[in-house]
Amino acid sequence: MLRLFVLISLIILSLSAEKIKLALSSNVAYAFEDLKKAFNKKHPHIKITSSLASSGKLTSLILHGAPYDIFISADMSYPQYLYEKKLSVSKPIVYARGSLVLFSQKQRDFSQGLALISHSSIKKIALANTITAPYGKASLHALKKLNLFTKNKHKFIYASNISQSITYALSASELAFIAKASLYSKTLKSYKKNIHWIEVDSSLYPALNQGIILLKRARKNKAAKKFYDFMLNKEAQEILKKYGYNIND
């Protein structure tokens, strides 16, 4: 009887727990567990679930009615588009600025910068989708600005998002353009600057201002508003800073 009572109590508690559904850009995945942990220390009763994909794909899902409360994007253009479509509570806000790096699993001579991709030893170079992934768009912009894209076009392999470009970097390509934040993951944290990676000059691509937006379905979801506010507070900003993001001081 006691067991039955406990079981029923747990079911009722589960059903009454506040819930948040996030549409999460792939590049934020590396910092997300720490962000979630910090938030749940203050709000242990709030359950957070997330869908991970490129910002463009997530935008398409939201436009087609996917039930998300918050969209955490890798740029501002996608959340701005959703705002203009009246699918959000308010305008998007920049929560962090990302950075792009060129990565190699093996040691490389990075003294020549991005021109390294033209070397005959480099056969395949991974980058995120240049249409739906903001980091992919940034990679393409940098390559074109240095006149490196057309002559190396045959070398590029395209990942669906910035996270998948890391998978390619560790298996199918000699080089890959990835988010700087990913270098703080357990998989990549042992790789060294100027030996395994270099930061791409930020003047070569538009600023990766990353936007957050509270979606229309969250209008009555107090838990979603709490997480939205948390992402903009000092504690979350410090966590993002630890993962290589530039924050709004």
Quick check: 1 pLDDT over 60? no
Q: Tell me the CA end-to-end span of the chain in Å, nearest whole number.
A: 56
The per-residue pLDDT for range 110-136, each reduced to its tens digit, is 999 999 999 999 999 999 999 999 999
Residues paired with residue 19 on neighbouring β-strands, in sequence order: 47
Same domain, 70 and 131: no
Find all residues with CB under 8 Å of 71, minimum gap 6, and list them.
22, 23, 58, 59, 62, 78, 79, 82, 88, 212, 213, 215
Number of domains making up the chain: 2
Mean per-residue pLDDT, 157-182: 93
Mean per-residue pLDDT, 191-219: 96
Tell me, what's the pLDDT at 149? 97
| Alpha carbon 71 to its chain's center | 11
Q: Is residue 166 part of a domain?
A: yes
φ, ψ (nearest 5 deg) of residue 108: -135, 160
Residue 235 corresponds to which tokens in the numbers above? 């504690």
Share of the chain above pLDDT 70, in %: 92
Same domain, 52 and 135: no
101/245 Cα distance (integer angstroms): 12
Same domain, 214 and 141: no
Cβ atoms 204, 146 nearer than 8 A: yes
Residue 228: pLDDT band (50, 70, 90) is: very high
Instruction: Output the domain CATH number for residue 29.
Output: 3.40.190.10
Tell me, what's the pLDDT at 16? 45
Average per-residue pLDDT for the chain: 91
Residue 61: pLDDT band (50, 70, 90) is: very high
Same domain, 84 and 107: no
Which structural domain, as residue segments, surrounds residue 70? Answer: 2-97+208-242
By C-alpha distance, which of 208, 204, 206 is closest to 145? 204
Tell me, what's the pLDDT at 3? 59
Q: Is residue 249 part of a domain?
A: no
The per-residue pLDDT for range 88-97, each reduced to its tens digit, is 998 999 999 9
Same domain, 136 and 189: yes
96/24 Cα distance (integer angstroms): 14
The per-residue pLDDT for range 2-38, each reduced to its tens digit, is 554 445 444 444 444 689 999 999 999 989 999 999 9
Same domain, 156 and 187: yes
Number of H helices and number of E strands within the chain?
A: 8, 10
Q: Is residue 248 part of a domain?
A: no
Same domain, 104 and 200: yes
Tell me, what's the pLDDT at 17? 61
Q: Is residue 23 part of a domain?
A: yes
Q: Is residue 64 part of a domain?
A: yes
Count the helix, strand and coil residues of the chain and give each as a percent rounded to the nearest 5: 45, 20, 30
Same domain, 149 and 173: yes
Same domain, 137 and 149: yes
